[in-house]
Amino acid sequence: MLLGQKRYSSVAVALHWAIAVLILTQIASGLYMADLPNSSSVKFDLYQLHKSFGLSILGLTLIRLGWRLAHKPPALPSFMPGWQKLIARLTHWAFYALMLITPLAGLAIVSVSPLNVTTLWFGLFEVPDFPFFNGVADRAAAAETFVEVHEYLAFSILFLFVLHVGAALKHGFVNRDGVLRSMAPRVVALIGVALIFGALGLAAFSYLQKSGVVERDSAVPIDVALPDTTPADAAAVKPAAPPVTASAPLNNDSVAPEVVVTAEPLPQAALEPEPSPTQTMVSVAPPPVWTVDYPASTLRFIGEEGGAQFEGQFSEFTAQIVFDPGNLGASSIRVGVNPASAGSGNPFRDDTMKDRAWFDVKKYEGAQFTSNTIRKTGANAYEVDGTLTIKDFSHDITLAFTLDIDGDRAHAAGGVDLVRTDYGLGMGASWLESEKVALAVRVEFEINAVRAD
Ligand code: HEM
């Protein structure tokens, strides 16, 4: 019997059930993901989804709290003893407090964590970190503390949940006082719940698509737009294009061979020295342009993490090669690399590489190498001095390579040893410990190219 008990409004009912389901899922997913090994291919994405759903719970709780303050809830049955009413009220307000503090503690973990992973709500927009942790000396220890706090808070929600469900069932099946029915969902509230889950489901799906967990269009064409120009007509190209325009979405499987490389043609005019009047008179032929066969070429990196070696590839790069072994003075090499295309077979590591502490791909477009001088060091061995620029760091490096030319086909292979911190890579406090990720990184390339006449 209902004993004059009014119902909660449909908005309150919809928010109550949607948040209840989200919180239970959140606790289960949180416990599951935290136990996964770092090598797990789903760990990174589960963390991103956990953060996004957790922030959604925070947003929905704020709306619910606003609604609660503006709308008086139905009164508790008048025959309920005072102490029971007090416990009921305390439980409800403790719920509100935990539903606000638990996600905030989660945000505190990621704000203070030395991993520096940006929080993007379902990959759609950035949620800023708390600004007040900048001065924290031992960020790893602080993050650990917040993880524990976050976990205790989540278990406190679970504890209240058990109390709450027990009380609700007693109202519904022992007292039969209508309290349980006052929160029972009817059609309008069910539509509200469906809308909330529909919106969050769409956002989660769009995240999974972007991150490559859900395949987009698998038939991605190979589209290598490289300069198909002779040196003469290339001179008409305006020198303005950036070295790399990565069009592929954020994809954890970027080692796969089907990769879009839509590099804007680099201005050949900029690569070739202006012919001097004397050169024109003695008609020294300019070095030929070599068109890279990208599917048959690789740009690899080899590093060490936790004492174990790992390897990866940049699947998107362009190389503009103007080269004549007999005219090294006029030869030049220019390479553009899209660091967001790095794939090492470990999605957690690959996504971390895109972050601020590493390549910061949201701020910096790409890495570039531009040759200064090329010299012969053996029968088919060469060295090229040039400048490598990654983010705001430029350093002169020397690449050693071998070159075999067979008719109009060329094969070059070589590499260079770099120190990652010279280029501001892995600058968060914990990444600087070289035993975690070694400072030395080897970059190796193998290029197959065809002479363009
Ligand atoms: C009501 C909302 C939330 C609930 C109920 C919840 C619950 C949980 C639970 C149960 C765990 C597992 C704890 C462990 O065993 O270590 C966890 C982990 C975690 N949560 Fe939440 N969470 C919520 C919101 C958030 C939010 C909003 C964020 C960040 C924006 C977040 C970030 C994290 C992180 C980073 C971990 C992993 C900690 C680790 O590395 O062990 N959580 N969460």
What is residue 431's predicted lDDT score, i.e. its pLDDT? 60
Q: 3-state SS of 387-421? A: EEEECCEEEEEEEEEEEEEECCEEEEEEEEEEEHH
C-beta of 428 in contact with ligand 1 (< 6 A): no
Using CB atoms within 10 Å of the CB of residue 442, give its burial: 0 to 12 exposed, 13 to 18 middle, 19+ buried: middle
What is residue 435's predicted lDDT score, i.e. its pLDDT? 55
Using CB atoms within 10 Å of the CB of residue 312, give its burial: 0 to 12 exposed, 13 to 18 middle, 19+ buried: buried
| Ligand 1 centroid from CA 15, angstroms | 21
Residues 6+ apart with CB under 8 A from 234: 227, 265, 267, 268, 269, 272, 289
The SS3 assignment for 439 reads coil
- Contact predicate 278/316, CB 8 Å: no
Give the Cβ contact number of residue 78 at 10 Å. 10
What is residue 221's predicted lDDT score, i.e. its pLDDT? 33
DSSP annotation string for 315-335: S-EEEEEE--TT-GGG-EEEE
Low-confidence ranges of the chain (pLDDT < 50): 1-5, 216-283
C-alpha pair distances (Å), 417 with each of 14, 90, 302, 435: 59, 63, 10, 18
C-beta of 51 in contact with ligand 1 (< 6 A): yes
- Contact predicate 315/343, CB 8 Å: yes
Query: What are the φ and ψ backbone dihedral angles of 51, each rounded to 5 degrees?
Result: -65, -40
C-beta of 151 in contact with ligand 1 (< 6 A): yes
What is residue 37's predicted lDDT score, i.e. its pLDDT? 79
What is residue 61's predicted lDDT score, i.e. its pLDDT? 98
What is residue 371's predicted lDDT score, i.e. its pLDDT? 93
| Ligand 1 centroid from CA 52, angstroms | 11
C-alpha pair distances (Å), 217 with each of 156, 212, 220, 223, 248: 44, 10, 6, 15, 11
What is residue 25's predicted lDDT score, i.e. its pLDDT? 96
Torsion region of 122: left, alpha or beta (phi above 0 gives left; psi -120 to 50 gives alpha): left
Residues 6+ apart with CB under 8 A from 179: 5, 76, 77, 168, 171, 172
All structural domains of the chain, each given as residue ranges with its CATH number in brackets, are 10-210 (1.20.950), 231-452 (2.40.128.110)
Closest C-alpha to 19, from 121, 120, 122, 161: 161
| Ligand 1 centroid from CA 118, angstroms | 15
| Ligand 1 centroid from CA 287, angstroms | 59
Sign of CA dihedral 416, 422, 424, 428: positive
What is residue 173's predicted lDDT score, i.e. its pLDDT? 82
C-beta of 154 in contact with ligand 1 (< 6 A): yes
Task: List the residue whose alpha carbon is closest to atom 7 of ligand 1.
Answer: 27
What is residue 135's predicted lDDT score, i.e. its pLDDT? 84
Structure confidence by residue, pLDDT tens digits, 26-58:
999 999 998 887 667 788 889 989 999 999 999
What is residue 424's predicted lDDT score, i.e. its pLDDT? 84
